[in-house]
């Protein structure tokens, strides 16, 4: 039986009398991977913030009862000289956390436990994103929200992180909501895509709705002439 995990109806966000999002409606079922795409300023991050309860909105956001949500931000800017190890970073979440659980979470994101002794500001951007994902999954969420999780990561690192996310979603039976500009990733890993540009432009399976005409409507310019490589 299909379980509906999220329902969004007539969502609207307005800041300083400017409508950031309006008339947003969609549903997500358990186990789905939903990609949210759109140009800069389309309201993608604001939508995630509203789903997390971090932004005021009008309309309805209804999660299934007792759903646990994890969130991975686009980036976490850390000074390289900050006196904080990766281990201490996890203990910021919960001072009584079991180190076995920390190591289990690191294993999920393919990081060696030796990284726990490294300075959080000294590890690579790709490693930092994996640590943030481990931080999110350690609480065993039902849903993971990702806001451009590889924005500052090189191409090779991006590929490995998305492959890891896909395996994580499968192994832990997660529902995933993903903001991404990478259409290859959207085609490869998402079950459904929502196209935003202040309003919902389209919704459906990527291969069915992301044609050249639709991409021109969403983005204009170069992305409109993107051709998916099967």
Q: Which CATH superfamily is domain 4-67+142-225 in?
A: P-loop containing nucleotide triphosphate hydrolases (3.40.50.300)
Residue 194's pLDDT is: 94
Residue 150's pLDDT is: 64
110/102 Cα distance (integer angstroms): 12
At 149, the pLDDT band (50, 70, 90 cuts) reads: low
The closest alpha carbon to 39, from 199, 229, 209, belongs to 199
Q: Is the separation of the CB atoms in 179 and 147 below 8 Å?
A: yes
Q: How many whole angstroms from its chain centre is CA 42?
A: 16
**Quick count: other Cβ atoms within 10 Å of Cβ 195?**
23
Q: Where are the domains of the chain?
A: 4-67+142-225, 83-140
Residue 8's pLDDT is: 97
Q: How many whole angstroms from its chain centre is CA 117?
A: 27
64/66 Cα distance (integer angstroms): 7
At 101, the pLDDT band (50, 70, 90 cuts) reads: very high
Low-confidence winner among 38-52, 68-82, 201-215 (lowest mean pLDDT): 68-82
Low-confidence winner among 54-68, 98-112, 139-153, 208-222 (lowest mean pLDDT): 208-222
pTM, rounded to two decimals: 0.84
At 68, the pLDDT band (50, 70, 90 cuts) reads: very high
214/27 Cα distance (integer angstroms): 21
Encoded tokens for 148:
């451009």
Residue 54's pLDDT is: 93
């Amino acid at each position: 039986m299909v379980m509906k995990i999220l329902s969004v109806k007539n969502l609207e966000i307005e800041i300083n009398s400017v409508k950031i999002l309006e008339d947003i409606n969609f549903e997500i079922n358990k186990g789905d991977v939903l990609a949210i795409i759109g140009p800069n300023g389309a309201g993608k991050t604001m939508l995630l913030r509203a789903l997390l309860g971090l932004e005021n909105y009008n309309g309805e956001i209804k999660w299934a009862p007792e759903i646990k949500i994890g969130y991975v931000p686009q980036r976490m800017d850390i000074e390289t000289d900050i006196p904080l190890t990766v281990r201490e970073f996890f203990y910021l979440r919960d001072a009584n956390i079991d180190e076995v659980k920390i190591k289990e979470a690191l294993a999920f994101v393919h990081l060696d436990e030796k990284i726990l002794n490294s300075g959080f500001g000294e590890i690579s951007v790709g490693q930092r994103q994996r640590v943030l994902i481990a931080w999110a999954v350690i609480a065993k969420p039902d849903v993971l929200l990702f806001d451009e999780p590889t924005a500052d990561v090189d191409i090779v690192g991006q590929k490995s992180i998305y492959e890891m996310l896909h395996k994580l979603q499968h192994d832990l039976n997660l529902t995933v909501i993903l903001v991404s500009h990478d259409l290859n990733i959207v085609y490869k890993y998402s079950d459904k895509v929502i196209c935003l540009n202040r309003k919902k432009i389209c919704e459906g399976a990527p291969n069915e709705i992301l044609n050249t005409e639709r991409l021109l409507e969403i983005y204009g310019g170069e992305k409109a002439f993107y051709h998916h490589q099967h």
